[in-house]
Structure 1
Amino acid sequence: MSPRPLNPDIFLQQAAQYPVFDVRCPSEYARGHIPGAHNLPLFSDEERHEIGILYKQQGRTCAFMRGLEIVGPLLAEYIVRVRSHTDSRHILIHCWRGGMRSESLSWLLDKAGFRVGLLKGGYKAYRKYVMTGFETPLSLLVLGGMTGSGKTEILHNLQRRRQQILDLEGLAHHKGSAFGAVDNIAQPTTEQFENDLFDAMRVLDPGQTIWIEDESRKIGHVSVPEGLFRQMREALVMRIQVSRQARVTRLCSDYGAVSPEKLGNAVRAISKRLGGERTRIALEAIAAGDYATATHALLDYYDKTYQFGLSKRHPDSIIDLDHASDSPCAIAGALVEKAAKISRNP
């Protein structure tokens, strides 16, 4: 049976059941790939560069013959590598544009007894499908609140209550402030962040409420896609009110294990925005191990910044939730009740 070309939507539906093999070179895969795909490069980065030059300078036939010289001795190895990843006889393959790399390897694997699905248009078509997907209208409710309010914990508590969520900071591997990278977890590329985000969105019902944390466009070095960010700015904000002391306590707990050197570097990174006096107070307090004083100084800045960002929204789009408890679990329950009342009385 010859390989079957599949449009991106069908390809991704089948990817939920069958393994995906990305035959692009390692650097292409590292920049961004379909979540869960295995890299099965037909060429190394250097070999792909060489073949590209041959194609431009001497034409398709010359480039094709050089490709055969490289790949020919490795044909059996490709089959072994695929079998090492899966017992399935149904597999999915793609390259950059659905051209010679994926067609050649799919032909080989078809002859080896695999039932092969080819991504029509390749990864390039997939990326276009992803970016278009961020324009899909979503029933967003934005979870707002000042720094240290426990929004991420509340978001996860909402999920435990069977609410739909999009955890942007979790997908970005960053906590969304100057201190968001102090735990040294590597962030994905923006391209991979977009792919992972789209993958998370695909399993949600766009017609039902989706909770998402209030974020700026940039989360560390990755960016929220324009289509989604625009919807976030237009959605209702459920602003939670948590006491200043509770926020300080939470932040001291969250960052208490981080070295003073890393915390000091994070403060220095925003010193121009903090101002000289707040920077001095924060750095001296961190050096003395007085994280509460440092946190108060930083919150003076972050609270003003948050209020300024919120002031750009229409007042009618902001709904306050005053709750007696600072518990993320209790706040999540109150948010679900509040959202239900809003849906009944739009």
Structure 2
Amino acid sequence: MKYQKPQSFIKADKIPIIDVRSPLEYQKGHIPLAINIPLFTNEERHEIGIIYKKLGKLQAIEKGLGFVGPKMMEIAQKARDISEHNERKVYCWRGGMRSEKMAWLFELIGMQCQVLEGGYKAYRNCQSADFSKIENLIILHGSTGCGKTEILKELSLKGEQVIDLEKLANHRGSAFGFIGNKNKQPTSQQFQNDIHNTLTNLDFSKRIWIEGESMKIGLATLPEALWLRMKKAHVIEIRVERTKRVKRIVKEYGLYPKPELMDSILKINSQFGKQNTQDAVHFLEMGQLEETANLLLKYYDHSYEYTRKRFREQSIFVVKSESGDSKENSDKLLTTLTKYMNLEVA
């Protein structure tokens, strides 16, 4: 049995990672790609916790042994069936009794185990330090409808390093953000873990692109350390003429059911204003999608101007474009960076 610090434990390899915490703990957040083989069920863990508080550690251990004894073979078999490879990585909350005893069990039947030193808690703590190390971070800003997500995809195809926050959050970052997403958003904890997992596969010596977002994307919250780093990063703003933005919005959202679009409009009623809301709903009902989008842009452009004030002190480079083509605009962004920021293409 070997003990590994978080940076070594999560290093990409073919060794399966086993999370031995309860299903509820796993659902709140886990190391990406980890498989849950719980030592205790949610109910069993709850009962052991009560006994620990009321009667003490020894009685709690005895109760735990009673739960585990009958299912030891089943647990071991599940761990063996994961992969034909003989090694396993194991972790619990603090790298204590649960992960140690499960690793002991797995090694008893011939597997070799690595245990996460400090457990999941240590893994979570190490994220802040990693986010703080990002030096070459580029924030892409732009008004609604500029096609920032598509631009980031084009940049990725050109070999640029990109963290797609909206994809990881499964939300587009507005009142309309949930539309078209069949899957639920991850928990904030899992969202942060997934961002960190993406980051571990990137080269910190090269620039990393990320879209300008608020602290929350839908219900998922950004890691505080990353948010603070974003506030100090270089900012490049793409400006696309309004008519092109309207057409993009209609193209992206026009095929979705009207009731879903209407619900999203009603969500911003208090900020949008009663008359504007009524007009937008009317245009939508009449099938006048460009008029609907144009009216909504008044609200989102106003919100964006408020956001721009927050990054005025950062290095801001503006790229103006008459085109709505994401590939063309990604080329313009790279040209601007090379010319004015002395940052070579990755």
> What TM-score do the two structures reach when normalised by structure 2?
0.95
Equivalent residues in 2 for 1:148-227, closer than 5 Å: 148-184=145-181, 185-227=183-225
Task: Tell me the SS of whatever aligns to 1:344.
Answer: coil
Q: Work out whether 1:102 is the aligned partner of 2:99.
A: yes
Give the Cα–Cα distance (whole angstroms) in 1 for the partners of residues 19 and 321 of structure 2.
Answer: 49
Give the Cα–Cα distance (whole angstroms) in 1 for the partners of residues 138 and 131 of structure 2.
Answer: 16
When structure 1 is superposed on structure 2, of 138-147 and 223-232 the one drifting more is 223-232
Task: Tell me the SS of whatever aligns to 1:234.
Answer: coil
Cα displacement (A) at 1:242: 1.2
Give the Cα–Cα distance (whole angstroms) in 2 for the partners of residues 126 and 235 of structure 1.
Answer: 25
Q: Name the CA shift for 1:97/1:325 in 2 (closer, same or farther; >3 Å).
A: same
Q: Which residue of 1 aligns with 2:144?
A: 147
Q: Which of residues 126, 129, 150 is equivalent to 2:126? A: 129
Q: Which residue of 1 aligns with 2:9?
A: 11
Equivalent residues in 2 for 1:234-253, closer than 5 Å: 234-253=232-251
Supply the AA of the counterpart residue of 2:2: R
Q: Which of residues 92, 95, 115 is equivalent to 2:112? A: 115
Q: Name the CA shift for 1:35/1:345 in 2 (closer, same or farther; >3 Å).
A: closer
When structure 1 is superposed on structure 2, of 206-215 and 174-183 the one drifting more is 206-215
Give the Cα–Cα distance (whole angstroms) in 2 for the partners of residues 27 and 155 of structure 1.
Answer: 35
Tell me the number of residue pairs that the alignment of Structure 1 and Structure 2 aligns.
343
Supply the AA of the counterpart residue of 1:226: E
| CA deviations over 1:62-82 (Å, ceiling 9, x no partner) | 111111111111111112111
8 Å CA contact retained: 2:241, 2:322 = no
Q: Work out whether 1:257 is the aligned partner of 2:219.
A: no
Cα displacement (A) at 1:229: 1.4
Q: Which residue of 1 aligns with 2:29?
A: 32
> What TM-score do the two structures reach when normalised by structure 1?
0.95
Q: Which runs of 4+ in 1 moved over 4 A?
A: none
8 Å CA contact retained: 2:231, 2:314 = no
Task: Tell me the SS of whatever aligns to 2:206.
Answer: coil
Give the Cα–Cα distance (whole angstroms) in 1 for the partners of residues 253 and 131 of structure 2.
Answer: 33
8 Å CA contact retained: 2:239, 2:318 = yes
Q: Which residue of 1 aligns with 2:51?
A: 54
Task: Tell me the SS of whatever aligns to 2:319.
Answer: strand
Task: Tell me the SS of whatever aligns to 2:277.
Answer: helix
Cα displacement (A) at 1:342: 2.8
Cα displacement (A) at 1:317: 2.2
Percent of aligned positions that are identical: 39
Q: Unaligned regions of 5+ residues in structure 2, if any?
A: none
When structure 1 is superposed on structure 2, of 314-323 and 181-190 the one drifting more is 314-323
When structure 1 is superposed on structure 2, of 229-238 and 168-177 the one drifting more is 229-238
Give the Cα–Cα distance (whole angstroms) in 1 for the partners of residues 178 and 33 of structure 2.
Answer: 25
Q: Unaligned regions of 5+ residues in structure 1, if any?
A: none
Equivalent residues in 2 for 1:228-239, closer than 5 Å: 228-239=226-237
Give the Cα–Cα distance (whole angstroms) in 2 for the partners of residues 316 and 130 of structure 1.
Answer: 24
Give the Cα–Cα distance (whole angstroms) in 2 for the partners of residues 76 and 322 of structure 1.
Answer: 64
Cα displacement (A) at 1:324: 4.3
Cα displacement (A) at 1:111: 1.1
8 Å CA contact retained: 2:241, 2:321 = no
Supply the AA of the counterpart residue of 1:215: E
Give the Cα–Cα distance (whole angstroms) in 2 for the partners of residues 252 and 176 of structure 1.
Answer: 17
CA RMSD of aligned residues (A): 1.5
8 Å CA contact retained: 2:131, 2:229 = no
Q: Name the CA shift for 1:245/1:167 in 2 (closer, same or farther; >3 Å).
A: same
Give the Cα–Cα distance (whole angstroms) in 2 for the partners of residues 121 and 139 of structure 1.
Answer: 30
Cα displacement (A) at 1:344: 2.6
Give the Cα–Cα distance (whole angstroms) in 2 for the partners of residues 319 and 101 of structure 1.
Answer: 52
